[in-house]
């Protein structure tokens, strides 16, 4: 099933976090995202057009995250450099929820630096 058509599941009771090989397999479904060295988190960086573009994009991410009840860590530095980190905190690693949310974030319009 396509990640975009799925909904995030409650994190408690969904099993164990993904092993590295499963995380790598899932990563191929979300272009632009990177797996961290211990395979417990995926991240994507954006160079936004300006500060307000970054804040507006963060709000779009927040709206999707709240609807999915799965929340990323958002880091805004240098007034327009945005990094989004996803992991399933309750499992201490990655789950399908992270890839569902990553796929949905990939669909959001972003006002990037040209």
Distance CA 33, CA 102 (A): 8
The larger pLDDT score, comparing residue 34 to residue 14, is at 34
pLDDT confidence of residue 67:
98
Q: Model's pTM, two decimal places?
A: 0.96
The secondary structure of the chain as a DSSP string is --GGG--PPPSTTS-PPPPHHHHHHHHTTSTT-EE-TTSS-EEEEEEBSSHHHHHHHHHHHHHHHHHHT---EEEEETTTEEEEEE-BTTTTB--HHHHHHHHHHHTS---B--
In the chain, where the domains are located: 17-106
pLDDT of residue 40: 98
- Spatial neighbors of 2 by CB under 8 A, at least 6 apart, are none
Q: What are phi and psi of 43, to 5 degrees?
A: -140, 155
42-92 pLDDT per residue, tens: 999 999 999 999 999 999 999 999 999 999 999 999 999 999 999 999 999
Q: Which CATH number fits domain 17-106: 3.30.70.1450, 3.40.718.10, 3.30.1360.20, 3.40.50.300?
A: 3.30.1360.20
> What whole-number distance in Å separates Cα of residue 68 and Cα of residue 50?
27
- pLDDT score, position 14: 82
Question: What pLDDT band is residue 1 in, cutting at 50, 70 and 90?
Answer: low
């Amino acid at each position: 099933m396509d990640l975009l058509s799925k909904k995030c599941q409650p994190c408690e009771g969904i099993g164990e976090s993904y092993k590295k090989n499963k995380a790598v397999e899932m990563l191929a479904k979300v272009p632009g995202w990177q797996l961290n060295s211990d395979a417990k988190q995926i991240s994507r960086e954006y160079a936004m057009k300006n500060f307000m573009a970054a804040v507006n994009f963060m709000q779009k991410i927040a709206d999707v995250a709240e609807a999915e009840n799965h929340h990323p860590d958002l880091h805004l530095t240098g007034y327009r450099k945005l990094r989004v980190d996803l992991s399933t905190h309750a499992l201490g690693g990655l789950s399908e929820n992270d890839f569902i949310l990553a796929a949905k974030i990939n669909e959001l319009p972003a006002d990037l630096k040209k």
